[in-house]
Amino acid sequence: MRLRFASLALVLALFTACAHAPAAAPEAAAPAAPAAEVPSTPAGGRLAWFLALMNERHGALDVAEVEAAFAPSFLAQVPPSQVVGITKQIGRQVGTLALQSVQERSPEALVAIVGAGDAKLQVTVAVEPQEPHRFVGLLVGPARPERARPASWEAVDAELTALAPRANLLAARIEGDRCEPVREHARDAALGVGSTFKLYVLLAAADAAAAGKLDWTAALTVRDGWKSLPSGVMQNEPDGTAIPAEQVARQMISISDNTATNILIDMAGMGEVNALMRELGMPNSTLGRKMKGRPAVEGEKENFATANDYAAVVAALFDGSAASSASCDAMIEMLTLQQNPRRIPRYLPESDDIRWGTKTGSIKGVTNDVGFVETPAGRIIIAAFCEDFPDQHDGEFAIGELSRAAMHACGLWPSDDAAAS
């Protein structure tokens, strides 16, 4: 059975539903014995809700049920009527879903593999931390087939070139106070940056705080002219709403809030953001405009970045050269709030002795991720920028594969047996 699936909105990016009509609804299949149990967590509760919706109601629900189950931030990107159509479409195309595996990212986030006849689906769930734990992210799509892991850096380069027409990659291992690059691929090529640029905006905000221009506890004001879709929730706040500066920064990083980013760019100054980048020795990346949730149009400047510059930013946070020690530690902690685990940390197992933090970037044709991974064997910085992917799912998959290969090559992979495949 060959299936086509529609996608729902994620925490950090909007995936437009595919309107493929099936030839006929599949015949009902006998429920398969589950190979895994639904976790007793907020995310697990919503996964159980989704499985029951598909298995018992074939995806049929009404607008009132959608509004009760999905958070306003989700519905701002995908209206309730569209959710009704998507779930109905999925329900018509799949048979009985049996849970096969679950990878928990946190109590509020998980990735599940479910069986539908002879096909496998991946269901990614993210929910609000507070009751009633409504969906803030839900993605349903074909599970990626297992692929042979690249056995050498040359194989990594070949796979990257095959997957993305334009890409750059830099992987560096931190040894003491030294950051040593271990592999580079077109690291100085300037590509579209998307929301990854928010890492530089965070640095500029920290610089403004150090200069006494910004008080993290003071309120910043939401203005209608700064609001931007699709990612985030601050665009839903009324004009004039006051929000603490630290909360604005945290939402900019954790859920890639575009409106929060524009508030901080206005506070710090676009020229100051670019000047700080040059001061830190990062000459090839440029902030040309505020966040608008789309590529630049004719007459607008675009934002560009290189893997080398962004790896240098993360390294500067760890060696303390980007700001004060306290500020650098705070910014590293903000990176660990990232809600999208499908790129650099895609295959990492859940473990108390593994820590990671990243800043993703997504816009039409662009899939990026920059950050760090720490395991008992050490720490690695990875910056991956990809352009011209026909599908963002492919971009996320490629970055996950390349990051896993980089960690293996550096001897930092925690355990082959513990890793998700």
- Residue among 313, 208, 195, 307 nearest 261 (CA): 195
CATH of residue 138: 3.10.450.280
Confidence of residue 259 (pLDDT cuts 50, 70, 90): very high
Residue 12, domain member (yes or no): no
Does position 59 have pLDDT exceeding 80, yes or no? yes
For 295, left (φ over 0), alpha (ψ -120 to 50), or beta?
Answer: beta
Q: Are both 398 and 254 inside the same structural domain? A: yes
Q: Are both 72 and 216 inside the same structural domain? A: no
Residue 8, domain member (yes or no): no
pLDDT in tens, 333-356: 989 988 888 889 988 887 888 999
Does position 9 have pLDDT exceeding 50, yes or no? no
Does position 50 have pLDDT exceeding 90, yes or no? yes
Q: For residue 286, what is the DSSP state?
A: B
Share of the chain above pLDDT 90, in %: 23
User: What pLDDT score was predicted for residue 149?
Assistant: 63
User: What pLDDT score was predicted for residue 165?
Assistant: 60
Confidence of residue 295 (pLDDT cuts 50, 70, 90): confident
Q: Are both 180 and 247 inside the same structural domain? A: yes
Q: Are both 177 and 138 inside the same structural domain? A: no
Question: Rounded distance, CA 353 to CA 292, Å?
Answer: 38
The top-scoring range by mean pLDDT among 3-7, 114-118, 122-126, 185-189 is: 122-126
Distances (CA, A) of 89 to 58, 74, 344, 348, 413: 9, 19, 31, 32, 39
| In contact, 134 and 83? CB cutoff 8 Å | no
Of 190 and 371, which is predicted with more confidence? 371
pLDDT in tens, 87-142: 998 888 887 899 999 988 778 888 899 987 778 888 989 898 889 999 988 888 77
Q: Is residue 355 helix, strand or coil?
A: strand
Q: Are both 160 and 289 inside the same structural domain? A: yes
User: What pLDDT score was predicted for residue 292?
Assistant: 80
Question: Rounded distance, CA 47 to CA 51, Å?
Answer: 6
User: What pLDDT score was predicted for residue 51?
Assistant: 95
Q: In Å, how far from its chain's centre is CA 271?
A: 27
pLDDT in tens, 306-337: 888 888 889 889 988 888 888 899 889 989 98
Q: Are both 80 and 137 inside the same structural domain? A: yes
Question: Rounded distance, CA 152 to CA 94, Å?
Answer: 39
Mean pLDDT of 204-213: 88
**Domain span including residue 231:** 153-409
User: What pLDDT score was predicted for residue 44?
Assistant: 95
User: What pLDDT score was predicted for residue 419?
Assistant: 45
User: What pLDDT score was predicted for residue 321?
Assistant: 86
Q: Which of 142, 176, 194 is the last residue of a domain?
A: 142
Q: Determine which helix (DSSP H) or strand (DSSP E) holds 409, and give its type and residue range.
A: helix 392-409
Q: Which two tokens stand for residue 272?
A: 């100051």
Confidence of residue 14 (pLDDT cuts 50, 70, 90): very low
Residue 3, domain member (yes or no): no
Distances (CA, A) of 417 to 9, 69, 347, 401, 420: 32, 36, 12, 16, 8
Question: Rounded distance, CA 97 to CA 50, Å?
Answer: 10
Of 27 and 169, which is predicted with more confidence? 169
Does position 20 have pLDDT exceeding 60, yes or no? no
Of 227 and 155, which is predicted with more confidence? 227
Of 370 and 159, which is predicted with more confidence? 370
CATH of residue 250: 3.40.710.10
Does position 416 have pLDDT exceeding 60, yes or no? no
Mean pLDDT of 225-230: 82
Through-space distance between the first and last CA atoms of the chain, rounded to whole angstroms:
23
